[in-house]
Each structure stands twice: as C-alpha cells, then as structure tokens.
Amino acid sequence: MRFLVDECTGTSVASWLRNQEHEVFSVFEQWRGASDDAILEKCHLENYILITSDKDFGEMVFRNQKVHCGVILVRCEPNIFTKRIEVLGKLIQNFSEDLQNNFIVVTNDKVRIVAL
C-alpha cells in the first residue's frame, strides 16, 4: 500500500510502515512545513492514503468536500509512537481492504469507517 505519513504522526510510524514493505512518503522527512491542502492534494494526485493525527483533515474532507484517496485519523491514548504503531498494525491487519477512499478514525479499541 501507499501511505503518506503526516508530520504530526512521526517518523517512527513511517519507518515501521516501510519495514512492513509499504511505500511511504513522510512529510516530516521529505516535505516539512507543507500545508494541509498541499498534503491532501499530493495524496489524491499520487494515490496515497493519508495517516494523520490532525483533526483538521476531517473538516477538509467532510465540510469542504476535498478529494482524497483515503484518510486514517489516529486518535490513541497515550498518544505516543508505540501506541500509534499498535493501533495501525491492527487496522491494517483487519481492515486493509477498507482503507482506500474512506475516512477512518482508529482509536485504542474502535475503528470507525466512513465511506465517502
């Protein structure tokens, strides 16, 4: 799969995804300071699923009707990289076919998939 890892999500998540043999673009490593609009546009144009902890992307997708190829909003406690990796691992293992073109909120114990 192709993932774009937002700056706020961290390089540890990007590295873990690469180790899982996914194609990864890391905003922190490759495009620091990019705007949310530019990130979402890159995801759409280059077929990346966005992984973020930034709730602003929900507003962009739902209220502003921005196009995308899939958004995963990670909301876990504690909000540390090991917990993000844990919840993303479970998500990818159990819901890999649902990631493309959906808005997904993943927490410690729940996955909410909103088809768009």
Tens digits of per-residue pLDDT, 49-101? 999 999 999 999 999 999 999 999 999 999 999 999 999 999 999 999 999 99
d(CA 35, CA 109): 30
pTM: 0.97
**Ranges of each domain in the chain:** 2-115
**Tokens representing residue 111 in the block:** 């996955």
**What sign does the CA torsion over 65, 68, 72, 74 have?**
negative
d(CA 111, CA 104): 7
Q: What is the structure's pLDDT at 86?
A: 97
Question: CATH second-level architecture of 2-115?
Answer: 3-Layer(aba) Sandwich (3.40)
**Tokens representing residue 44 in the block:** 């759409």
CA-nearest of 59, 56, 64, 27 to 42 is 27
pLDDT exceeding 90 applies to what percent of the chain? 98
